[in-house]
Structure 1
Amino acid sequence: MDLTVCPPTETAQVDVELLSRARAVRLNVSGIHTLATQLGAGFSNLTPRRIRTLREAGLVAPVPGPWAMDWPELFVVGEVLDAHVALPMRQRRCID
């Protein structure tokens, strides 16, 4: 029996209006992930781990501010989205 397991090849449309409004918003990692799932194609794989990778690569940085020590860091959504598009993701291989 041949079994091929791959992610679906369908591409959903990006909600352009939502994307343009979201670019200036400051959110924490969890908020960005939640927003990314609503934006559609190209952003559904923007996970907290991916944002951590973008930060470690020096592509994004938290917004400086007078935050309390136990508050989550905030990021400008547009910067995170741009960095996500700019840094290629590791391609997963299909299992044959």
Structure 2
Amino acid sequence: MILIKSKKDLLIKLPLGIVIIALFGISPILVSMVMSRITEFLTNEPCHEGNCIWGGLGWLFLLTIPLAVIFFFLFLIICLVDILKLARLKN
């Protein structure tokens, strides 16, 4: 058992892991949107890919979304193996 050692772990770690992986996947977009708005507020100029690093950072999601999908499936496989081992130990 790697992640899930009890039923309590299943109820806590499974949703938490899914949320963390989802945040990893969309984090470049979130950071880009928030920071570009802050930069626009401070400079009174529009922020886009051509004049602001935050505008171009959102394109990094093209890398993080596929990685998040891979991490999600690996996480589910590990959790499934742990759940099956936990069920076998209880019987």
TM range (shorter): under 0.3
TM-score, normalised relative to structure 2: 0.24
Structure showing greater Rg = 2
Which structure is higher in strand share? 1
